Amino acid sequence: MAKSPSPAIVDEASATAAYPYPYTANVANFVSVKLSGHDKYQLWKTQMLCLIEGHGMLGFIDGTLEPPPETRPDNAQWWRRSDALLRGWILGSLSDDVLSSIIGLKTAKDVWVYLESSYGSLTPQSSSLVAVKGEIDGGEWKFDGGFMRSTAHSRSLPVPLRGMSQQIDLKGDSATPTVDSKINSRSRKSRGLESTAFPEDSWTGNSPKLLSMDLAEITDFLQEATTNISAYLPLYKAALRGDWDDAQHFIDQEPEAVTANINKYGFTALHIAVGTGKQGITFVQKLVEKISPKSLLKMLTSSEKYTPLHIAAVVGNTDAVKILVNKNHKLLYAEDVDGLLPIHRALINSHKDTFLYLLGVTKANQYPYTFTGNMGVTLLSNVIFAGYFDIALDLISRYPDLATTIPSDNVDAPLMVIARKADAFESGCRLSFFDSLIYKYVPTKLVNLNLNKKQHKMDFWSSVLQEIGFLVWKAVGRILPHITHIQKIKLVHNQAVALVKCLCHEISALNLESNSIYYSKPIIEAASNGAYEVVQEIADTFPQAIWYSDESGHFMIQLAILHRCEKVYNLTYQMSDHKHFHKTLKDSHNNNLLHLAGKLAPPHKLNLVSGAALQMQRELQWFKEVETFVHPKYKMEKNSFEQTPEMLFTKEHKKLVRDGEEWMKKTADSYTVTAGLITTIVFAAAITVPGGNNGDTEQDFLFTLPSRLIMGLATLFLSTSSMMIAFGASLYLLFGQGKDWILIPIAALSGLPITCFVTLQFPLLVELISCTYGRGLFGKQSDRPFY
């Protein structure tokens, strides 16, 4: 289209004739759609073109009404007035998100071309062919299937389709094709092209423009400013295999491949290689030698912004971590998109060796400061969450302020983290009978916390005896490795308790009236999780802590009952007479403590006991215990739903009673060896459970039914043993006269059924006896006073 000459303008009338200025136009009558994305573009464009053409303004966006030359400043003033009006029409029809992307564009044409390229560009789904006008070496070039192909020659240039979005005049006079800024900038960056044939002043705002270039410049730009990821596939495979020879051959031909992005996530060959572990360590070493320290910091993945050191930390490749840190120690302090350092990534992914190395080389006085503020408390909380309590104690001893630093909203404070790790304490560890004996007597070296308390020094002979004891247990542990395993468990538990003491000590040192923000929530969390050691340490340091409640208004003892945390509840046995205040506690629904005991236990607590019958027995034991604690009048008191504790218990446990009945029957039926015996002793009692004559069905699970099942199992074991002994004796009498060797196979055959029975059923018998006749769940745990 021919360009209109710049007319001589002498007044406003002639200016309006040359450059239309329809300022009275009602844009809303023409454009009802706001441009907010690709799906609205065609509708928006259709309406906007009607408005523009209807008021004679099309020349401002198609290039026919270009800015007047500098020799006519008066004309330029009128042109800018009309162009600003048209640009205002366009801007007023854009959504906020789209509007924010075109800030800085100077003319209506710039805005129009940018919107066309961003929201109206062809994609591989809509078209695989974009025409490119112009002649290169006498032929017409087209974008076809990702390549720029010549119709006159067999040459082709690799170019992503989405890189160009409109027809491009390649003759070099005034062509300004719009190129997707994100793609081109990323392409140049990924290929190591910090600068290209693009002059810096050819980029306007967010819309890069190709200025006048000759044929050679355009060809070079199209080759260099785009990335064909598939071309890096050989390097990608070599990095995965750790094959440096193949990679070296590829890099010799394509030197920029050293730092190029080789997959759609922005990974370089180094990112891939460090993730392959030890098999790729030689590859990593050789590749790092070819990369400058500064370039390592710029090699970031697309979304997570991981450096190669982040990747090495995530996978736990300690050797690669050492190579990268030796190359550029500043990698230690590079933050990813979540604001985390490589040391955090190693910790989160539980790579202790990698974490310890990074901990040793990370400096405290280097920004971002790893061991102070939010960065430091995040590190400490993650250390505690990973269970590295010895490292956490060391960190607090070196940086005590971490214990009292308030973290950001998405990070838990250290005391809250340890309160949630009930399995880090003895109370959260379930050991067998023999393991419990070992745990009780195996020694561990205590942690010296130096909490400004009076330390009791051992005399010489006591310390000698202690060291001898350690040596003896160490020797036994070499013979029986399981003992060493139990010793390590006990050591971790002691370290966890020491960590809680240390945190509480640092918090108490603040001497603030408002330091409750540090312990009020952790004590509630610990009570809910059954970590009575945490509850006890917090209450010892901050006695007022036991009177804090959760969002539902439940105090410590109420939470212990609701969540069936017997060891937290047992702290009431160590309380002074202040425990009587707890007897009258009620929640928002007027439930007293016995109502709470009548609620069904959480599933994870029920499943600690095998079998529905034993679960029902455990629930009854809780109800009976709380019943002895509260005042007798609360047994008949109703809550807001007009339910007494017993009514609530019956309602909540109806299904568990049915399941318990079924479990008892199936257990009895499974003993096929002496089914008659089991049926007589056990099944007869169980058969009366559904709607029994005395209406006392639930109470049978407390003692009667388990006792009869114990009797049945014991009798079954005795009868099976007697039968096999008689069987063996009969065989010997018949075939063993003068053949003493036959006693060996007879003993083996006779012992096999007994062994099978003991293996399969004896644990159930032990659990039944323990739950029914054992010392029980409740009682005083130690002589240590609690409040």
Peptide bond preceding 603: is omega within 30 degrees of 0, i.e. cis? no
- Measure the CA–CA gap between 701 and 689, rounded to whole angstroms: 9
Beta bridge mates, 207: 204
Residue linked to tokens 């509708």: 43
697 CB contacts (<8 Å, ≥6 apart)? 657, 689, 690, 691
Q: Which residue has the tokens 């479990």?
A: 663
With cut-offs at 50, 70 and 90, classify the pLDDT of residue 725: confident
Give the residue from 706, 695, 698, 702 showing the smallest Cα distance to 668: 706
* Phi–psi pair at 178, nearest 5 degrees: -90, 130
Q: What is the pLDDT of residue 167?
A: 35
Q: What is the mean pLDDT of the chain?
A: 78
For residues 685-713, average pLDDT:
63
Residue 763 CA, distance from chain mean position? 38
Nearest CA among 378, 376, 451, 389 for reference residue 418: 389
- Alpha-carbon distance of 354 to 334, in angstroms, equals 17
pLDDT band at 690 (very low <50, low <70, confident <90, very high): very low
- The more confident residue out of 590 and 667 is 590
Q: pLDDT at position 738, please?
A: 67
Rounded Cα distance between 468 and 592, Å, is: 54
**For position 364, what pLDDT does the model report?**
86
CA 20 to CA 29: how far, in whole Å? 19
Let me know the angle formed at the C-alpha of 257 by 251 and 258, rounded to the nearest 5 degrees.
Answer: 80
Residue linked to tokens 């990335």: 227
Residue 325 confidence (pLDDT): 96
Q: Is residue 267 over pLDDT 90?
A: yes
Report pLDDT digits (tens) over 144-161.
333 344 444 333 333 333
Per residue in 753-767, pLDDT tens?
A: 667 766 777 777 777
Least confident piece of the model among 150-164, 356-370, 613-627: 150-164
Distant-in-sequence contacts of 132-139, Cβ < 8 A, 24+ apart: 132/164, 132/167, 132/168, 132/170, 133/167, 133/168, 133/169, 133/170, 134/168, 134/169, 134/170, 134/171, 134/175, 135/170, 135/171, 136/170, 136/215, 136/218, 136/219, 137/215
Q: How confident is the model at residue 164 (pLDDT cuts 50, 70, 90)?
A: very low
pLDDT at 230: 80
Is 382 buried (19+), middle (13-18) or exposed (0-12) by CB count in 10 A? buried
Lowest mean pLDDT among 11-20, 507-516, 652-661, 703-712: 11-20
What confidence tier does 771 reach under pLDDT thresholds 50, 70, 90? confident
Q: Cβ neighbours of residue 197 under 8 Å, at least 6 residues apart?
A: 213, 217, 220, 221, 224
**Has residue 256 got a pLDDT over 50?**
yes
Residue 751: its pLDDT value, please?
72
| Per-residue three-class SS string for 110-179 | HHHHHHHHHHCCCCCCCCCEEEEEEEECCEEEEEECCEEEECCCCCEEECCHHHECCCCCCCCCCCCCEE
Q: What is the pLDDT of residue 70?
A: 66
Interatomic CA distance for residues 145 and 124, integer angstroms: 8
For residue 202, the model assigns a pLDDT of 34
Higher pLDDT, 781 or 550: 550
Give the residue-averaged pLDDT of 366-372.
85
Give percent above pLDDT 90 in the chain. Answer: 37
Strand-pairing partners, residue 130, are: 143
| Strand duo 139-144 + 147-150: pairing | antiparallel
Q: Which of 302-306, 438-442, 659-663, 677-681 has the lowest mean pLDDT?
A: 677-681
**Which of 76-85, 589-598, 605-614 has maximum average pLDDT?**
589-598
Residue 367: pLDDT band by 50, 70, 90 thresholds?
Answer: confident
Sequence-ordered list of residues with C-beta below 8 angstroms from that of 502, at least 6 positions apart, any chain = 393, 396, 397, 403, 449, 451
**What pLDDT does 14 receive?**
64
Can you tell me the distance from the alpha carbon of 287 to that of 274, in angstroms, rounded to the nearest whole number? 10
The encoded tokens of residue 32 equal 């009802």
More confident residue, 21 or 312: 312
Residue-level pLDDT at 168: 34
Whether residue 614 is predicted with pLDDT greater than 80 in this model: the reply is yes
pLDDT reading at 51 higher than 50: yes
Q: How far apart are CA 237 and CA 609, in angstroms?
A: 52
Q: Token pair for residue 133?
A: 């006008």
Distance CA 396, CA 503 (A): 8
pLDDT band at 459 (very low <50, low <70, confident <90, very high): low
Domains of the chain: 12-119 (no CATH), 129-224 (no CATH), 229-370 (1.25.40.20), 373-514 (no CATH), 612-787 (no CATH)
- 116 pLDDT higher than 70: yes
- Given this model, what pLDDT does residue 91 score? 87
Sign of torsion over alpha carbons 535, 536, 542, 546: positive
